[in-house]
């Protein structure tokens, strides 16, 4: 496994929009394996997005019931009307935990690591993880999802 370096806020790469993956090459597959291994071996890891390790590709890894899985070019195609606030943290902003509003349920379309189209429904914590990791692909951090008064209290 390659040693992955987590990019920390305010690293400018965390604010960039990622490129779509046009082809699932061996290089992409190796990157995915490294990301999966990182999530598998890191305590309390629920997900990881490629820009968090300095790669501007639309790839995320999400912890599922079957273990960590990769999703390439993920898009939220459906979402519930119901939302909820809950606590979130981020590898790229260590030590900061914020209450973030997210949709309770979503449906995501993506490619798997073999390049096959997949569709997944996620609710609760799983939906929250997908939304957070997909946000990273568009340069959005949890600090962008909080209200004005919460921002005043932050010291990052």
Q: Is residue 133 among the annotated active site residues?
A: yes
Tokens describing residue 108: 């995501």
* 2/100 Cα distance (integer angstroms): 32
Q: What is the DSSP string of 56-119?
A: -BSEEEEEETTEEEEEEEEEEEEE-S-EEEEEEE-TTSTT-EEEEEEESEEEEEEE-TTS-EEE
Taking the CB of residue 145, how many other CB atoms lie within 10 A of it? 17
* Active-site entry in 33, 37, 66, 133: 133
* 152/144 Cα distance (integer angstroms): 13
Active site (catalytic) residues: 133
């Amino acid at each position: 496994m390659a040693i992955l370096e987590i990019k920390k806020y305010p690293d400018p790469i965390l604010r960039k929009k990622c490129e779509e993956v046009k082809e699932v090459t061996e290089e992409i597959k190796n990157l995915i394996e490294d990301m999966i291994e990182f999530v598998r071996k890191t305590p309390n890891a629920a997900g990881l997005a490629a820009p968090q390790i300095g790669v501007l590709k639309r790839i995320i890894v999400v912890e599922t019931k079957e273990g960590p899985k990769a999703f390439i070019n993920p898009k939220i195609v459906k979402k519930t009307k119901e939302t909820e606030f809950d606590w979130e943290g981020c590898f790229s902003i260590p030590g900061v935990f914020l209450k973030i509003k997210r949709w309770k349920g979503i449906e995501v379309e993506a490619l798997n690591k073999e390049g096959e189209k997949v569709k997944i429904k996620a609710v609760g914590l799983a939906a929250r993880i997908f939304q957070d990791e997909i946000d990273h692909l568009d340069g959005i951090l949890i600090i962008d999802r909080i209200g004005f008064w919460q921002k005043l209290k932050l010291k990052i």
